[in-house]
Amino acid sequence: MKEIDNVTIIGMGALGTLFAYEIQEKIGRGKVAFLMDRKRYEKNSQAVYKVNGTPIDFRILTPENASPASLIIVAVKATGLMEALDTMAPAVGPDTIIISAVNGVVSEDILAERFGADKVIHAVAQGMDAAFFNHSLTFRNPGTFCLGILDPAMQEKLDILADFFRRISFPHSLEMDIRRRIWSKFMLNVGVNQVCMVLETGYGGISAEGSLPRALMVSAMREAMLAAEAEGVHLTEQDLEGYVSLMASLSPDSMPSMAQDRINRKRSEVELFAGTVRRIAAEHGFLVPVNDYLYEMVQKIEAEYPI
């Protein structure tokens, strides 16, 4: 199988724009493109994009102009994943590799069901402190892609993907237990995303020792640990402490996606985070009062948004 030589990105938010910028800087604008539906194209194609204050020119395509990509990176919100499947279909060829930066624990299953498990490498994007407002991306830490496989038959494609990231010096790690990494990142998101939105704070706020945001984040994460255990994934206090420490390395002025959603008055992924924890807790008969509280608060906040 030939090496990766072109990349299509689905989702032009903070992470998608960060990935496009980092990869385009290494392999050139002509080999990287965003793919979006006609409505989004009309909204975004004439905008002026900036990355850390510098204007950047991105290629943007619609499905009728798309061709099979070597690599597709899916970076939409979880609420938009099902719609994105039709948009990305023309870019999926026989040898395409797909990785997901979508939050939660089921995006790979959804992508595999539509396009085939032989195309999907499991991945977790973490450590990015990207913020995206008014077509302007700011970030200090590009983060890393954690990569892994559940089926040994996917080893060749994992090797091809890892080789590509090595060639372009894109931060990545190879995970022996990618399912555990996915649930670990979910645990973090349950805490940091929801708390930052509800308390209107950023990474600086949740990193302060002894603060209410930090205490609430850790409590929400511990409830997510219980949910993971109920689903057969054992997470530890060491896992939790590692992710709490990771937050301290991010720009204190930046914020996770749900906090950005509140500023932009967009519907958040609360159903993906607290909603999932609450569902699993109900199925297995344990209480998750912190996630109940965060869920209810997000519902109140979003009830005030324009319809």
Average per-residue pLDDT in the chain?
Answer: 96
Q: How far apart are CA 271 and CA 294, in angstroms?
A: 11
Residue 22, amino acid: E
Average pLDDT over residues 275-290: 98
Distance CA 203, CA 249 (A): 9
- Does the pLDDT at position 1 exceed 60? no
Q: What is the mean pLDDT of residues 7-21?
A: 97
pLDDT tens digits for 169-200?
Answer: 999 999 999 999 999 999 999 999 999 999 99
Closest by CA to 250, choosing from 172, 147, 144, is 144
pLDDT, residue 307, reads 72
> Rounded to whole angstroms, what are the CA distances from 249 to 18, 128, 141, 184?
18, 10, 8, 18
- Per-residue pLDDT band at 289 (split at 50, 70, 90): very high
Q: Which helix (H) or strand (E) holds 306?
A: none
pLDDT per residue as tens digits for the range 113-151: 999 999 999 999 999 999 999 999 999 999 999 999 999
The pLDDT confidence band at residue 24, using thresholds 50, 70 and 90, is very high
Torsions phi, psi for 66 (to 5 deg): -85, 155
pTM confidence score: 0.93
| Structural domains in the chain, sorted by start | 7-176 (3.40.50.720), 179-299 (1.10.1040.10)
Task: Give the tens place of pLDDT for each residue, 47-81.
Answer: 999 999 999 999 999 999 999 999 999 999 999 99
Q: Which two tokens stand for residue 266?
A: 């967009």
3-state secondary structure at position 171: coil
What would the two tokens of residue 292 be?
Answer: 């109940």
Beta strands in the chain (DSSP E): 7-10, 32-35, 49-51, 54-56, 60-61, 71-74, 97-100, 120-128, 131-133, 136-138, 142-148, 172-174
Mean local confidence (pLDDT), 216-237: 97
Query: What's the mean pLDDT in 193-208?
Result: 95
